[in-house]
Structure 1
Amino acid sequence: MSRSGADLALLLLGGFRSLADAATAELARRGHEDVRPVHDFAMRAIAAGADNASELGRRLSVSKQAAAKTVAVLQERGHVAREADPLDGRRKRLRVTPLGHEVLRQGEAIFDELREEWEQRIGPDALATLETHLTTLVGSRPVRLDAPGLPLRDLDEPL
């Protein structure tokens, strides 16, 4: 059966969504029921240097207001903190807290477990072939989570 290019794009998106949803559910089972994919992207961007809402908005391709709301949620949950800038006492910088780093580490471990599940379902050779083909098609680093322009607006409900 031949599929269209749109079908391929939807299958790839479905694969991402399947992994992201399973990881979100597993994080919830492990006590982090309030973490969403966009929170992971935001914490990664902050850890990579987006130390204010304006920069975070640019990196996530969302408005400064949406980024500020995400920061407020992450701060309320203890994943991100604001601290005084050592070079400018008037400025507050964002940083990922130890709890935020722990959530990121657990998320990475869960994705490794999900990869193992996929390997068990389709076999190690088939998964290796899939990864090789995807690497050929999109490159070895297809998405930089800290890069400007990552389209996150539709990956989650409200930021």
Structure 2
Amino acid sequence: MAASGVGGADVDRAAAEPPGFELPLRLLMAFRALIDEVHAELARQGHPDMRPMHGFVFQAIGPHGTTAADLGRLLGVSKQAAGKTIDGLEQLGYVERHTDPNDARRKLVGLTAHGVDSLVKSAAIFEDVRAKWADRLGVDRLRALEEGLRVMTPGDTIHLDMPAWFGGG
């Protein structure tokens, strides 16, 4: 017979079942471990200034570019904050501003060759990290984890505003 704990909780069950708050913490720790590994390798491959936020920015900029106002909306930040981010990425050589060919009054922000290179390298590095996870967990367990996450998360939307949401901004 299992001993009872505080409030009559079954001690054996408590030992077998982690507390509910552990799930988001473990997901966050796994995300952090994966992203840290990717960024360490990106730094070794010529992108030492890349930060996790930059990936969200690059996805929001997309292949055709965007305006500072639209970037801000997609990221969930002000136009001014987006402009400051663009300034920093421009200084690092990842993005450039140019006139919109369809409207000379608008300035578009687009990725430079250096920015595209970081995306190409990060995609390959993510594949390498996923392969390491498959080696460690086993292919079937990794696929089950990924499928479970697909079931539990929205399937059609990538929330680029995640950094702003997480920061409370």
TM-score of the alignment, normalized to the shorter chain, above 0.5: yes
Q: CA deviation at 1:48?
A: 5.6
Match of 1:97 in 2: 112
Moved more, 131-140 or 114-123: 131-140
Residues 1:8 and 2:23 are matched in the alignment: yes
52, 55, 58: which one aligns with 1:37: 52
Higher RCO, 1 or 2 (CA under 8 Å, sep at least 6)? Answer: 1
Gap runs ≥5 in structure 2:
1-15
Q: CA deviation at 1:22?
A: 0.9
TM-score, length-scaled by structure 1: 0.86
Q: CA deviation at 1:73?
A: 1.2
Structure 1 CA distance for aligned equivalents of residues 140 and 103 of structure 2? 54
Match of 2:163 in 1: 152
Structure 2 CA distance for aligned equivalents of residues 155 and 77 of structure 1? 25
81, 88, 99: which one aligns with 1:66: 81
Residues 1:131 and 2:154 are matched in the alignment: no
Q: 1:86 to 1:50 in 2, by over 3 A?
A: closer
Q: CA deviation at 1:118?
A: 0.6
Secondary structure in structure 2 of the residue aligned to 1:95: strand
Q: Match of 1:34, as an amino acid?
A: D
Q: 1:5 to 1:51 in 2, by over 3 A?
A: same
Q: Match of 1:8, as an amino acid?
A: L
Gap runs ≥5 in structure 1:
none
Structure 2 CA distance for aligned equivalents of residues 60 and 112 of structure 1? 25
CA-to-aligned-CA distance 1:85-143 (integer Å, 9 cap, x gap) = 223323211111222111111111111100001111111111111112112222545x5
Identity between Structure 1 and Structure 2 (%): 40
Checking the alignment, whether the CA contact within 8 Å between 2:71 and 2:79 is kept in structure 1 is yes
TM-score, length-scaled by structure 2: 0.81
> How many residues were matched structurally?
152
Residues 1:17 and 2:28 are matched in the alignment: no
Residues 1:114 and 2:149 are matched in the alignment: no
1:43-54 matches, within 5 Å, as 43-47=58-62, 51-54=66-69
Rg (Cα) greater in structure:
2
Secondary structure in structure 2 of the residue aligned to 1:152: helix
Q: Match of 1:152, as an amino acid?
A: P
Q: Match of 1:28, as an amino acid?
A: A
42, 47, 57: which one aligns with 2:72: 57
